[in-house]
Amino acid sequence: MIDISVDEGVHVDEPTLTGIAAAAMAHLDVAEGELSVLLTDDATVHPLNRDWRGKDRPTDVLSFSQVEGEPIPGAPLMLGDVIISVETASRQADERGHSLARELQILLVHGIVHLLGYDHEDDDEAEEMEAIERAIHARIDAKPTPAG
């Protein structure tokens, strides 16, 4: 189950984001999983980043994993929460020269990969995480776009 929540005033394509999350989860072999995604603004993300990461500023994406211990056979994996600041994502998309939709894809995939324990604290971990993310993006980008 993928639950996408969007704060008032934030405009995103929820079905596309659900598809991105599903593709990422499938690539990571999470057939039965529960994921919550919140798309919000800098004012919401800033205190979370300060309180949980000790960084007193907004950030693009936060991940709060609920993956603990051994999975229960037959039960869905509780992945956790991904929180994305659409304000920060929009600025980054402009800086990087691509669309907001592309930046949201990058951030959502990154957040989901974090939920499963991958990190980028050292070069080896970063390389592994980036390879996984590249493979997920290739999978998503290879899918045909639904006709509008």
In a domain, 34, yes or no: yes
Q: What is the pLDDT of residues 33-58, one digit of tens each?
A: 888 899 999 999 999 999 999 999 99
In a domain, 44, yes or no: yes
CA angle 17, 107, 28 (to 5 degrees): 75
Model confidence at 147, in pLDDT bands (50, 70, 90)?
Answer: very low
Distance (Å) of CA 54 to CA 14, 47, 50, 58, 116:
30, 9, 5, 11, 22
Full-model pTM? 0.84
69 versus 64: which is more confidently predicted? Answer: 64
CB 35 within 8 A of CB 82: yes
In a domain, 147, yes or no: no
Other residues' Cβ atoms within 10 Å of the Cβ of residue 6: 15
Q: Residue 33 sits in a domain of what CATH number?
A: 3.40.390.30
CB 83 within 8 A of CB 48: yes
Model confidence at 88, in pLDDT bands (50, 70, 90)?
Answer: very high
In a domain, 41, yes or no: yes
